[in-house]
Amino acid sequence: MSVLGGMRSVFDTVLDRAVVPGYSSVGYRLRQLGWADDPEPDALKGRTVLVTGANRGIGKAIAAGLARLGATVLLTVRDRESGERAREEIVAADSGADVQVEVCDVSDLGAIRAFAADLTSRVPTLDVLIHNAGVLPATRTETGEGHEVTLATHVLGPVLLTECLLPILARSDDPRVILMSSGGMYTQALPADDPEYRAGRYSGATAYARTKRIQVALTPILARRWAAQHVRVYSMHPGWADTPGVAASLPGFRRLTGPILRTPEQGADTAVWLAATNPAQPTGRFWHDRRPRGEHYLPLTHYDDRDLEVVWRYCAEAIGIENP
Protein backbone atom coordinates (compact mmCIF):
# COMPACT_ATOMS: atom_id res chain seq x y z
CA MET A 1 0.00 0.00 0.00
CA SER A 2 1.30 3.47 -0.90
CA VAL A 3 1.79 6.18 1.69
CA LEU A 4 -1.22 8.01 0.26
CA GLY A 5 -3.27 4.83 0.37
CA GLY A 6 -2.27 4.24 3.97
CA MET A 7 -3.26 7.78 4.93
CA ARG A 8 -6.63 7.33 3.23
CA SER A 9 -7.19 4.10 5.13
CA VAL A 10 -6.41 5.73 8.47
CA PHE A 11 -8.63 8.70 7.66
CA ASP A 12 -11.44 6.35 6.63
CA THR A 13 -11.15 4.46 9.92
CA VAL A 14 -11.24 7.70 11.92
CA LEU A 15 -14.41 8.71 10.09
CA ASP A 16 -15.98 5.36 10.87
CA ARG A 17 -15.14 5.37 14.58
CA ALA A 18 -16.29 8.97 14.97
CA VAL A 19 -19.74 7.79 13.73
CA VAL A 20 -21.38 11.17 13.01
CA PRO A 21 -19.03 12.29 10.22
CA GLY A 22 -18.56 8.78 8.88
CA TYR A 23 -22.25 7.92 8.60
CA SER A 24 -23.27 11.34 7.25
CA SER A 25 -23.22 12.80 3.76
CA VAL A 26 -19.91 14.42 4.71
CA GLY A 27 -18.26 11.03 5.20
CA TYR A 28 -19.71 9.75 1.95
CA ARG A 29 -18.34 12.67 -0.07
CA LEU A 30 -14.91 12.45 1.53
CA ARG A 31 -14.59 8.71 0.97
CA GLN A 32 -15.68 9.08 -2.64
CA LEU A 33 -12.41 10.85 -3.37
CA GLY A 34 -10.42 7.68 -2.77
CA TRP A 35 -12.73 5.07 -4.26
CA ALA A 36 -11.78 2.70 -7.02
CA ASP A 37 -13.56 2.86 -10.35
CA ASP A 38 -17.33 2.53 -10.41
CA PRO A 39 -18.89 -0.51 -12.12
CA GLU A 40 -19.01 -0.35 -15.90
CA PRO A 41 -22.17 1.35 -17.30
CA ASP A 42 -23.57 -2.00 -18.51
CA ALA A 43 -22.16 -4.11 -15.65
CA LEU A 44 -25.51 -5.80 -15.02
CA LYS A 45 -26.75 -6.12 -18.59
CA GLY A 46 -28.55 -9.44 -18.95
CA ARG A 47 -28.72 -9.91 -15.17
CA THR A 48 -31.84 -10.24 -13.05
CA VAL A 49 -31.93 -8.66 -9.61
CA LEU A 50 -34.62 -8.83 -6.91
CA VAL A 51 -34.88 -6.03 -4.35
CA THR A 52 -37.33 -6.22 -1.45
CA GLY A 53 -38.90 -3.11 0.07
CA ALA A 54 -38.10 -1.25 -3.13
CA ASN A 55 -41.04 1.13 -3.39
CA ARG A 56 -39.39 4.06 -1.58
CA GLY A 57 -36.27 5.36 0.10
CA ILE A 58 -33.04 3.41 -0.18
CA GLY A 59 -34.74 0.37 -1.71
CA LYS A 60 -36.12 2.44 -4.56
CA ALA A 61 -32.72 4.10 -5.04
CA ILE A 62 -31.07 0.66 -5.18
CA ALA A 63 -33.58 -0.51 -7.79
CA ALA A 64 -32.99 2.61 -9.90
CA GLY A 65 -29.22 2.28 -9.61
CA LEU A 66 -29.28 -1.37 -10.66
CA ALA A 67 -31.57 -0.61 -13.60
CA ARG A 68 -29.17 2.10 -14.80
CA LEU A 69 -26.47 -0.59 -14.94
CA GLY A 70 -28.63 -2.68 -17.25
CA ALA A 71 -30.27 -5.11 -14.83
CA THR A 72 -33.79 -6.40 -15.03
CA VAL A 73 -35.06 -5.39 -11.59
CA LEU A 74 -37.80 -7.27 -9.77
CA LEU A 75 -39.10 -4.53 -7.52
CA THR A 76 -40.64 -6.59 -4.71
CA VAL A 77 -43.14 -4.95 -2.35
CA ARG A 78 -46.07 -5.71 -0.07
CA ASP A 79 -48.47 -3.40 -1.90
CA ARG A 80 -48.72 -3.56 -5.69
CA GLU A 81 -50.08 -0.04 -6.07
CA SER A 82 -47.12 1.54 -4.29
CA GLY A 83 -44.79 -0.68 -6.29
CA GLU A 84 -46.32 0.44 -9.58
CA ARG A 85 -45.91 4.08 -8.56
CA ALA A 86 -42.26 3.48 -7.77
CA ARG A 87 -41.78 1.68 -11.07
CA GLU A 88 -43.35 4.57 -13.00
CA GLU A 89 -41.09 7.06 -11.24
CA ILE A 90 -37.95 5.01 -11.99
CA VAL A 91 -38.89 4.60 -15.65
CA ALA A 92 -39.80 8.29 -15.96
CA ALA A 93 -36.26 9.16 -14.87
CA ASP A 94 -34.67 6.44 -17.02
CA SER A 95 -36.71 5.39 -20.03
CA GLY A 96 -34.49 2.38 -20.61
CA ALA A 97 -35.04 0.94 -17.13
CA ASP A 98 -36.38 -2.63 -17.08
CA VAL A 99 -38.34 -2.77 -13.82
CA GLN A 100 -41.05 -5.27 -12.96
CA VAL A 101 -43.25 -5.27 -9.87
CA GLU A 102 -43.56 -8.38 -7.70
CA VAL A 103 -45.66 -8.71 -4.55
CA CYS A 104 -44.51 -10.48 -1.38
CA ASP A 105 -44.75 -9.69 2.33
CA VAL A 106 -41.35 -10.85 3.57
CA SER A 107 -42.57 -11.04 7.17
CA ASP A 108 -45.05 -13.78 6.17
CA LEU A 109 -43.27 -17.12 5.89
CA GLY A 110 -46.18 -18.81 4.15
CA ALA A 111 -46.41 -15.99 1.61
CA ILE A 112 -42.67 -16.28 0.97
CA ARG A 113 -42.92 -19.96 0.13
CA ALA A 114 -45.81 -19.34 -2.27
CA PHE A 115 -44.09 -16.36 -3.87
CA ALA A 116 -40.81 -18.21 -4.33
CA ALA A 117 -42.53 -21.22 -5.88
CA ASP A 118 -44.30 -18.96 -8.36
CA LEU A 119 -41.18 -16.92 -9.15
CA THR A 120 -39.01 -19.96 -9.79
CA SER A 121 -41.60 -21.17 -12.30
CA ARG A 122 -41.36 -17.86 -14.22
CA VAL A 123 -37.77 -16.64 -13.80
CA PRO A 124 -35.04 -19.01 -15.01
CA THR A 125 -32.10 -17.33 -13.29
CA LEU A 126 -31.66 -14.86 -10.43
CA ASP A 127 -28.27 -13.16 -10.21
CA VAL A 128 -28.62 -10.86 -7.21
CA LEU A 129 -31.01 -10.85 -4.25
CA ILE A 130 -31.05 -7.74 -2.05
CA HIS A 131 -32.92 -7.91 1.25
CA ASN A 132 -33.84 -4.29 1.93
CA ALA A 133 -37.39 -4.48 3.34
CA GLY A 134 -37.53 -3.07 6.85
CA VAL A 135 -39.91 -2.10 9.64
CA LEU A 136 -39.59 -0.08 12.84
CA PRO A 137 -42.82 -0.62 14.81
CA ALA A 138 -43.98 1.62 17.65
CA THR A 139 -45.20 -1.35 19.71
CA ARG A 140 -44.38 -5.04 19.81
CA THR A 141 -46.30 -6.80 17.06
CA GLU A 142 -46.39 -10.44 16.03
CA THR A 143 -46.99 -11.87 12.59
CA GLY A 144 -49.75 -14.38 11.96
CA GLU A 145 -47.18 -17.10 12.53
CA GLY A 146 -46.31 -15.75 15.99
CA HIS A 147 -42.96 -14.05 15.29
CA GLU A 148 -41.99 -10.55 16.41
CA VAL A 149 -42.32 -8.48 13.27
CA THR A 150 -38.80 -7.03 13.05
CA LEU A 151 -37.25 -10.49 13.47
CA ALA A 152 -39.59 -11.87 10.83
CA THR A 153 -38.94 -9.02 8.38
CA HIS A 154 -35.19 -8.59 8.81
CA VAL A 155 -34.01 -12.14 9.54
CA LEU A 156 -36.47 -15.01 9.19
CA GLY A 157 -38.02 -13.81 5.95
CA PRO A 158 -34.75 -13.01 4.16
CA VAL A 159 -33.15 -16.34 5.12
CA LEU A 160 -36.22 -18.31 4.05
CA LEU A 161 -36.63 -16.36 0.80
CA THR A 162 -33.00 -17.02 -0.11
CA GLU A 163 -33.35 -20.72 0.71
CA CYS A 164 -36.43 -20.97 -1.47
CA LEU A 165 -34.77 -19.11 -4.37
CA LEU A 166 -31.52 -21.11 -4.26
CA PRO A 167 -32.49 -23.17 -7.35
CA ILE A 168 -32.55 -20.07 -9.58
CA LEU A 169 -29.70 -18.33 -7.78
CA ALA A 170 -27.55 -21.41 -8.41
CA ARG A 171 -28.15 -21.06 -12.16
CA SER A 172 -26.31 -17.74 -12.17
CA ASP A 173 -22.59 -17.77 -12.88
CA ASP A 174 -22.04 -15.21 -10.10
CA PRO A 175 -24.95 -15.16 -7.61
CA ARG A 176 -24.88 -12.61 -4.81
CA VAL A 177 -27.08 -11.97 -1.76
CA ILE A 178 -26.98 -8.66 0.12
CA LEU A 179 -28.51 -7.96 3.53
CA MET A 180 -29.18 -4.30 4.24
CA SER A 181 -28.26 -3.83 7.89
CA SER A 182 -27.90 -0.63 9.93
CA GLY A 183 -25.18 1.18 11.84
CA GLY A 184 -27.60 0.99 14.76
CA MET A 185 -26.57 -2.64 15.20
CA TYR A 186 -23.34 -1.40 16.80
CA THR A 187 -25.35 -0.46 19.90
CA GLN A 188 -26.78 -3.94 20.48
CA ALA A 189 -25.51 -7.33 21.55
CA LEU A 190 -26.77 -10.55 20.02
CA PRO A 191 -30.11 -11.34 21.75
CA ALA A 192 -29.42 -15.04 22.23
CA ASP A 193 -31.69 -15.35 25.26
CA ASP A 194 -34.63 -13.51 23.72
CA PRO A 195 -34.57 -13.31 19.89
CA GLU A 196 -38.32 -12.61 19.78
CA TYR A 197 -38.01 -9.64 22.24
CA ARG A 198 -40.58 -11.02 24.68
CA ALA A 199 -38.86 -9.76 27.85
CA GLY A 200 -38.48 -6.20 29.09
CA ARG A 201 -39.94 -2.95 27.88
CA TYR A 202 -40.24 -3.01 24.11
CA SER A 203 -38.59 -0.37 21.95
CA GLY A 204 -39.04 -0.39 18.20
CA ALA A 205 -35.64 1.23 17.66
CA THR A 206 -33.99 -1.39 19.86
CA ALA A 207 -35.83 -4.22 18.11
CA TYR A 208 -34.68 -2.84 14.78
CA ALA A 209 -31.05 -2.62 15.91
CA ARG A 210 -31.10 -6.08 17.53
CA THR A 211 -32.34 -7.77 14.37
CA LYS A 212 -29.82 -5.85 12.29
CA ARG A 213 -27.14 -7.23 14.63
CA ILE A 214 -28.49 -10.72 13.95
CA GLN A 215 -28.22 -10.14 10.19
CA VAL A 216 -24.55 -9.25 10.49
CA ALA A 217 -23.80 -12.08 12.91
CA LEU A 218 -25.38 -14.66 10.60
CA THR A 219 -23.67 -13.41 7.43
CA PRO A 220 -20.61 -15.73 7.72
CA ILE A 221 -22.86 -18.69 8.59
CA LEU A 222 -25.05 -18.04 5.55
CA ALA A 223 -21.98 -17.59 3.35
CA ARG A 224 -20.78 -21.04 4.36
CA ARG A 225 -24.24 -22.55 4.05
CA TRP A 226 -24.75 -21.33 0.48
CA ALA A 227 -21.17 -21.75 -0.70
CA ALA A 228 -22.05 -25.01 -2.43
CA GLN A 229 -24.32 -23.01 -4.75
CA HIS A 230 -21.46 -20.48 -5.21
CA VAL A 231 -23.61 -17.76 -3.65
CA ARG A 232 -21.66 -14.85 -2.19
CA VAL A 233 -23.27 -13.24 0.85
CA TYR A 234 -22.72 -9.70 2.10
CA SER A 235 -24.22 -7.52 4.81
CA MET A 236 -23.77 -3.76 4.82
CA HIS A 237 -25.07 -0.58 6.35
CA PRO A 238 -25.92 2.55 4.36
CA GLY A 239 -25.04 5.24 6.89
CA TRP A 240 -27.66 7.80 7.88
CA ALA A 241 -29.96 8.54 4.96
CA ASP A 242 -32.97 10.84 4.71
CA THR A 243 -35.77 8.43 3.84
CA PRO A 244 -39.54 8.33 4.41
CA GLY A 245 -38.97 5.59 6.98
CA VAL A 246 -36.63 7.78 9.03
CA ALA A 247 -39.05 10.72 8.81
CA ALA A 248 -41.97 8.59 10.02
CA SER A 249 -40.24 6.46 12.66
CA LEU A 250 -37.43 8.70 13.95
CA PRO A 251 -38.62 12.31 13.56
CA GLY A 252 -36.48 13.58 16.43
CA PHE A 253 -33.35 12.03 14.95
CA ARG A 254 -34.19 13.53 11.56
CA ARG A 255 -34.67 17.01 13.02
CA LEU A 256 -31.32 16.78 14.76
CA THR A 257 -29.30 15.36 11.86
CA GLY A 258 -31.29 16.59 8.86
CA PRO A 259 -28.62 18.86 7.35
CA ILE A 260 -26.04 16.07 7.19
CA LEU A 261 -28.22 13.08 6.27
CA ARG A 262 -27.30 11.22 3.11
CA THR A 263 -29.56 11.08 0.11
CA PRO A 264 -31.21 7.72 -0.59
CA GLU A 265 -28.86 7.35 -3.56
CA GLN A 266 -25.81 7.79 -1.32
CA GLY A 267 -27.23 5.25 1.11
CA ALA A 268 -27.81 2.85 -1.78
CA ASP A 269 -24.33 3.16 -3.23
CA THR A 270 -22.56 0.25 -1.52
CA ALA A 271 -25.43 -2.16 -2.22
CA VAL A 272 -25.35 -1.29 -5.92
CA TRP A 273 -21.56 -1.54 -5.93
CA LEU A 274 -21.55 -4.94 -4.21
CA ALA A 275 -24.13 -6.18 -6.71
CA ALA A 276 -22.21 -4.98 -9.76
CA THR A 277 -18.49 -4.72 -8.99
CA ASN A 278 -16.25 -7.09 -10.91
CA PRO A 279 -14.58 -9.18 -9.66
CA ALA A 280 -16.97 -9.89 -6.81
CA GLN A 281 -15.86 -8.98 -3.31
CA PRO A 282 -15.04 -11.69 -0.72
CA THR A 283 -18.08 -13.39 0.74
CA GLY A 284 -19.26 -13.37 4.37
CA ARG A 285 -18.22 -9.85 5.35
CA PHE A 286 -19.85 -6.64 6.62
CA TRP A 287 -19.50 -3.49 4.50
CA HIS A 288 -20.02 0.27 4.63
CA ASP A 289 -19.01 2.78 1.95
CA ARG A 290 -17.35 0.12 -0.22
CA ARG A 291 -15.05 -1.15 2.51
CA PRO A 292 -15.26 -4.09 4.96
CA ARG A 293 -15.96 -2.90 8.51
CA GLY A 294 -15.54 -4.26 12.00
CA GLU A 295 -18.62 -5.75 13.61
CA HIS A 296 -18.05 -4.38 17.14
CA TYR A 297 -17.07 -0.95 18.45
CA LEU A 298 -18.45 -1.36 21.99
CA PRO A 299 -17.19 -4.05 24.41
CA LEU A 300 -20.70 -5.02 25.52
CA THR A 301 -21.77 -6.14 22.06
CA HIS A 302 -19.34 -9.04 21.77
CA TYR A 303 -20.78 -12.58 21.84
CA ASP A 304 -19.35 -16.08 21.84
CA ASP A 305 -19.83 -19.03 19.51
CA ARG A 306 -22.45 -20.53 21.80
CA ASP A 307 -24.67 -17.46 21.58
CA LEU A 308 -24.29 -17.37 17.83
CA GLU A 309 -25.21 -21.03 17.54
CA VAL A 310 -28.27 -20.51 19.74
CA VAL A 311 -29.56 -17.69 17.55
CA TRP A 312 -28.84 -19.53 14.32
CA ARG A 313 -30.57 -22.70 15.54
CA TYR A 314 -33.59 -20.69 16.65
CA CYS A 315 -33.89 -18.99 13.26
CA ALA A 316 -33.37 -22.21 11.31
CA GLU A 317 -36.03 -24.00 13.32
CA ALA A 318 -38.44 -21.07 13.09
CA ILE A 319 -38.39 -21.15 9.30
CA GLY A 320 -38.22 -24.93 9.05
CA ILE A 321 -34.85 -25.50 7.42
CA GLU A 322 -32.21 -28.06 8.24
CA ASN A 323 -29.33 -26.89 10.38
CA PRO A 324 -26.34 -29.08 9.49
pLDDT at residue number 3 = 42
Average pLDDT of 216-220?
98
- Order of strands, sheet of 128-131, starting from the edge strand that comes earlier in the sequence: 98-103, 72-77, 48-52, 128-131, 176-180, 232-236, 285-288, 291-292
Residue from 23, 208, 234, 314 carrying the catalytic annotation: 208
pLDDT band at 324 (very low <50, low <70, confident <90, very high): low
Convert the pLDDT of each residue in 71-130 to its tens digit: 999 999 999 999 999 999 999 999 999 999 999 999 999 999 999 999 999 999 999 999
pTM of the model: 0.93
Domain 43-319 has CATH 3.40.50.720: yes
pLDDT at residue number 4 = 44
CATH 3.40.50.720 domain span(s) along the chain? 43-319
- Residues 75 and 55: their CA atoms lie apart, in Å, by 7
- 208 is an active site residue: yes
Name the strand (E) or helix (H) holding 286.
Answer: strand 285-288
Q: Is 102 helix (H, G, I), strand (E, B) or coil?
A: strand
pLDDT at residue number 240 = 78
DSSP 155: I
pLDDT band at 27 (very low <50, low <70, confident <90, very high): confident
Mean pLDDT of the chain: 91
Q: Of 21-35, 54-68, 193-207, which range is least confident?
A: 21-35
